[in-house]
Amino acid sequence: MSSAYARDPRETALRAEIVRVGQMMYERGLLSGFEGNLSVRLDDGRILITPSGLHKGLLRPEQLLIVDAAGQVIGYPTEARRELRPTSELPMHLETYRRRPDVRAVVHAHPPITVALSIAGIPMDTPLLPEVIVLLGLIPTAPYTLASSEEGALAIRDLIGGHDAIILQRHGTLTVGETLVQAFMRLETVEQNARIHFMLAQLGAGGPLEPKEVQRLLQMRRRMGLERPGDAAEFQRLWGTSPDSLSP
């Protein structure tokens, strides 16, 4: 394949959007160096994804690769760039798309406060902020796995079907969306949530929301069409009962 990708206006726009979001992630300190990766599902099921080893704040549209559902590269931007390879976290992206037909974009980042709290063992599923619960539900943490391996896909397999944001212990976050911008906004929400947790830990204060209030927020989330299967599961894990079992 040559630079013919420019003949498809939608693909051209998505390439530009990945570059723009990568720049914003870098500017906001959500990744650095070689960290992070982004992908978008194209209309025909192919996946447009960032390459391995390149700075996400300095990407160019022609450096993005296209892979099929099995992860095989099926198009290079130019013959001169055949040395590029998809991100080493490709298995995690593919697993997400397999489990979530509704997802059109995946963002993996290394937000520093979220990573630090996951190492410190400070749980970020404690319900503190009403807007986070409405927008993302209760955010789970996947167990530690070796980075850039098939283990990452296994770690998220049982979680991604029910959640739009997952914390990867010692390794960052995985957020998804119907658009790349939505996945990016969810990443920002996760890191803001972590920042509040961090501030409260420094203050030696807490103040989690009561189960009944979380129930009300999850009901609001349901009315907004944002409910995910993981909402009830996380509520059950935290309080040992279903959110619908509580009296109004």
pLDDT digits 0-9 by tens, 106-142: 999 999 999 999 999 988 888 999 999 999 999 999 9
**Composition of the chain by helix, strand, coil, percent to 5:** 50, 15, 40
Strands 37-41 and 105-109: antiparallel
User: Could you tell me how far CA 43 lies from the centroid of its own chain?
Assistant: 20
pTM reported for the whole predicted model? 0.92
Residues in the chain with pLDDT values less than 70 = 1-7, 75-82, 247-248
- Return the pLDDT at 2: 39
pLDDT given at position 91: 95
- Which pair of structure tokens corresponds to residue 166? 């997952």
Domains in the chain, ordered, with CATH? 3-245 (3.40.225.10)
